[in-house]
């Protein structure tokens, strides 16, 4: 009799164990499927974040053609990926390879999605057609439209091109009263934003835009068209900028 009861107990234990395995397996399948679909799942099965793929569409993001980030459900994308393409001007990120809707840092993904870089052949010029070139330790005076070798007097110019030698390498900078780097030409800038900017930005890159506040309080947008001879001694470095004056609201 005792043996019979023992078999019954063992059978019940095995049944409970089997049900537990089946449930765990099913849960595993569900989680795997959700993960593969570009969703991150929380413990209660709710979507935690969406997979966003940035497709450089002929360009590069760093050294790769694509980049993947995860954006929390209900959140804005925030910082956008920064692609480059030799001989092209970056127009922005869009929902399609051509056409489609332009996305911004305020876009909120609602599913797994791919965004595509769109490009314009050649470099972009400002409507005023103003350009200048700087070598290292030179700066630009916007009011008088002239390049100046400012030496140890950076207050002679509105922006400076300089570098610092550090133990771990050379750091290249653009300096101004206020300066900030953008992936595309900024619009609707406010004075309160400008006040938050630094007086320098480092590692300038072709295709980037730089908004600055000049010595007299006026504001300008610069587009870095070329950065030549980076592989040579610093005396050969040369940057070519296109610029225009802008208004900043209060």
List pLDDT tens digits, range 188-199: 999 999 999 999
Instruction: Give tens-digit pLDDT for 112-151.
Output: 999 999 998 765 444 445 899 999 999 999 999 999 999 8
Q: Calculate mean pLDDT across residues 66-87.
A: 89
Residue at 167 is within a domain: yes
pLDDT at 74 over 70: yes
Q: Report pLDDT for 110.
A: 92
Q: Are residues 196 and 141 in the same domain?
A: yes
pLDDT at 173 over 50: yes
Q: Are residues 112 and 145 in the same domain?
A: no
3-state helix, strand and coil shares in percent for the chain, rounded to the nearest 5 = 20, 45, 40
Residue at 113 is within a domain: yes
* Nearby residues of 22 by Cβ (< 8 Å), 6 or more positions away: none
pLDDT at 32 over 80: no
Q: Report pLDDT for 42.
A: 47
Give the residue ranges of DSSP H helices in 52-168. Answer: none
Residue at 54 is within a domain: yes
* Range of the structural domain that residue 192 is part of: 130-246
Residue at 10 is within a domain: no
Q: Report pLDDT for 214.
A: 97
pLDDT at 41 over 80: no
Percent of the chain with pLDDT over 90: 63
Q: Are residues 85 and 60 in the same domain?
A: yes
Residue at 28 is within a domain: no
Instruction: Give tens-digit pLDDT for 150-167.
Output: 988 889 999 999 999 999
Q: Are residues 85 and 141 in the same domain?
A: no
Q: Are residues 199 and 93 in the same domain?
A: no
- 0.75 exceeded by pTM: no
More confident position, 206 or 26: 206
Residue at 202 is within a domain: yes
pLDDT band at 35 (very low <50, low <70, confident <90, very high): very low
Residue at 22 is within a domain: no
Q: Are residues 103 and 136 in the same domain?
A: no
> Which single residue is written with the structure tokens 């609201």?
249
Q: Are residues 46 and 115 in the same domain?
A: yes
Q: Choose one of 87, 121, 155: the last residue of a domain.
A: 121
Residue at 140 is within a domain: yes
Q: Report pLDDT for 75.
A: 92
Q: Are residues 107 and 49 in the same domain?
A: yes
More confident position, 128 or 209: 209
For the chain, what is the domain count?
2
Strand partners of residue 131 = 242
End-to-end CA distance of the chain: 92
More confident position, 123 or 218: 218
| CATH code: domain of residue 115 | 2.60.40.4270
């Amino acid at each position: 009799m005792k043996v019979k009861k023992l078999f019954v107990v063992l059978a019940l234990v095995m049944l409970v164990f089997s049900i537990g395995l089946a449930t765990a397996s099913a849960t595993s399948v569900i989680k795997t499927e959700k993960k593969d679909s570009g969703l991150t799942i929380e413990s209660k099965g709710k979507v935690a974040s969406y997979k966003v793929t940035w497709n450089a569409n002929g360009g590069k993001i760093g050294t790769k053609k694509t980049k993947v980030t995860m954006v929390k459900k209900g959140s804005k994308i925030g910082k956008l990926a920064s692609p480059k393409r030799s001989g092209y001007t970056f127009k922005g990120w869009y929902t399609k390879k051509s056409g489609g809707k332009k996305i911004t840092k305020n876009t909120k993904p609602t599913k797994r999605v791919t965004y595509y870089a769109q490009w314009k052949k050649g470099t972009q010029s400002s409507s005023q057609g103003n350009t200048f070139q700087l070598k290292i330790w030179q700066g630009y005076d916007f009011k008088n439209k002239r390049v100046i070798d400012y030496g140890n007097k950076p207050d002679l110019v509105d922006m400076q091109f300089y570098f610092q030698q550090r133990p771990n390498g050379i750091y290249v900078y653009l300096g101004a009263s206020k300066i900030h780097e953008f992936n595309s030409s900024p619009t609707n800038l406010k004075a309160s934003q400008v006040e938050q900017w630094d007086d320098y930005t480092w590692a300038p890159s072709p295709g980037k835009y730089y908004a600055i506040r000049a010595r007299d309080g006026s504001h300008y947008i610069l587009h870095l068209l070329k950065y030549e001879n980076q592989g040579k001694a610093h005396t050969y470095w040369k940057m070519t900028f296109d610029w225009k004056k802008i208004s900043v609201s209060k």
